[in-house]
Amino acid sequence: MTKTIFITGASSGIGKATAKLFAAKGWKVIATMRKPASETELNLLENVTLLPLDVTDRRQIEATTRKALTLGEIDVVFNNAGYALLGGLEAITDDQLVHQMETNFLGVVRVTQAFIPYFREKKAGLFITTGSSAGLMGFPVSSMYDASKWALEGWSESLSFELNQFGISIKTIEPGLVATEIGAKSVVALHPAYQTLLDKFQAAISTDQVSTSEQIAEVVYEAATDGKNTLRYVCGEDAKALYARRLEVGDEAFREGIKQMMNAL
């Protein structure tokens, strides 16, 4: 039987690559985005349905969930919508920090909450979330972005105990740097006191050692089809190496290594 995946943030990057991959694998795809009328690729694919969804809009989450469930059974919900807010905390406005958490964390929570009753009644279902290596390790001038991703980590682990008893799984993919539009879409809060550190951090992440959206989409597909009850999928060679280093040397030595790397730039 053909399976269906519901994807948030499908207009670009990992979301779009995942929509294309699952469609190519014969899945039905419900691809959601804030402005589906602007989409020029996914709308051409026969087994892809576009729906409008801004994950910061609670009413639209409820309406789009209801609409999606009228289209047939849904097997996987991929919570992918998000963006990066960078800069010193002192420079970040209250509106900016609230919007970061509304999008990256509460948006995921609310979309998940909307689908749980359906999956519970069905006694099956899978939630996959785009986390980040920044949810496993903290980096400079990224406090609110990292906070949103760390929040997803604790939330997912705790929620797994609630969901697993009903045959529902929850998984998080943890990519490192990905060559997507997230860099262009990043919101950067500027403050002269933190400019040097910001410049160094942006230089550090301007590297050729990045994963493609298509490579991360393959990990999403693996998570959706491997039948394992694995909570975290660390992906991307940079993320794997950094996280292994963190586990090997411990928190403080790892933090010192990040400081030294920044000082060397």
Active site residues: 145
Contact 41, 64 (CB under 8 A): no
Q: How far apart are CA 185 and CA 62, in angstroms?
A: 26
CB neighbour list of residue 37: distance below 8 Å, 6 or more residues apart: none
